[in-house]
Amino acid sequence: MHKLFTLSIHNIMKMEGGNNLWKKELLLKLVLVAMGVVNTVHGHGTRVGFYSRTCPGVESIVTSTVESHVRSDPTLAASILRLHFHDCFVRGCDASVLIAGSATERTAPPNVNLRGYEVIDDAKDKLEALCPGVVSCADILALAARDSVVLSGGRSWKVPTGRKDGRVSIGSETSSLPGPNDTVSVQKRKFRDKGLNTIDLVVLAGGHTIGTSACQFFADRIYNPNGTTDPSIDPSFVPFLRQICPQNQPTKRVALDTHSQFKFDTSYFANLKRGRGVLRSDQALWTDPSTRPFVQKYLATAPFNYQFGNSMVKMGNIGVKQGDEGEIRNKCSAIN
């Protein structure tokens, strides 16, 4: 790595044409990549501090906005985190999930219950007043997701920024999103298609340590026509779920991390080990031998918190749009 870095500098200095400023800028980018400040996934780059000169108050404004909303409604923390996840898995992290209108991602079945749009809109309005036309909705969403985790007791991480907002949102493309009944092999494929690995899959699923699910997404695990229940569920957990989710009441909601839905911790993984994962896709992470070792590893708080930040940065760089590939929307719910 050292030899490659040295050779790259040597080659840049030997380049003919251009001026010294151009060479200095190229050298700076090379140094940032070597230091890990610039993160590249799928050939696109973002960097920490992208707005340090153009809108230095961006992070404090997003943080204070998210904090205000989450203090009033703690359930929004999980909603904002989920909003970012659902954005990145369709067309990359380009805020396409925020675009309103018929047949958009926002109206597709996997997204009809998404919440938190008003938080992003609020932050955008404040930033437009301070730095008009500078900060993308995609970056606001990435920052807000981090702040939601921190407000729930999780560890912070540095969020690379520099994304542009997408101009396209197609509801039918949401089939790429992981589903509540996906097997581990299907989940792995969907994550692999986005440049994410098995560690990312297990760690990011750990985001379910906050938030809830509608009963309709797991009712077949606790109510079966033949009277049986999903064998991977702890039998003593079934009465608890049935009490919260009576039959034929699909819209009622239950915490994905029982007794800890507002705290970002590792009890989600402890519940999987006990057979108390609510969604079939979650519990499968314990029953499948290829993912169980990672569930066991992230029962410990420090490794989980550290890797969660890393995997969020990695996910946050999926399909990043830059330059003419995107725009800075004036309003997050509509293209310019």
Q: Which residues pair with 165 in a beta bridge?
A: 327
Whether 86 is catalytic is yes
Instruction: Report the sign of the C-alpha dihedral through residues 297, 298, 301, 302, in that order.
Output: positive
At residue 334, φ and ψ (nearest 5 deg) are: -150, 145
Q: Which residues pair with 40 in a beta bridge?
A: 45
Residue 211 burial by Cβ neighbours in a 10 Å radius (0-12, 13-18, 19+): buried
Q: Which amino acid is at 16?
A: E
Could you identify the residue written with the tokens 């699923």?
205
Using alpha carbons, list the distances in angstroms from residue 168 to 60, 108, 260.
Answer: 29, 14, 37
Of 44, 69, 84, 86, which one is the catalytic site residue?
A: 86
Cα gap 41→319, rounded to integer Å: 8
Cα gap 284→249, rounded to integer Å: 25
At residue 52, φ and ψ (nearest 5 deg) are: -60, -30
Closest residue by Cα to residue 78 from 152, 139, 160: 152
Using alpha carbons, list the distances in angstroms from residue 280 to 108, 164, 218, 273, 333.
Answer: 21, 35, 7, 13, 33
Cα gap 42→160, rounded to integer Å: 15
Q: Which residues pair with 327 in a beta bridge?
A: 165
Residue 191 burial by Cβ neighbours in a 10 Å radius (0-12, 13-18, 19+): buried
Cβ atoms of 298 and 154 closer than 8 Å: no
Known catalytic residues?
A: 86
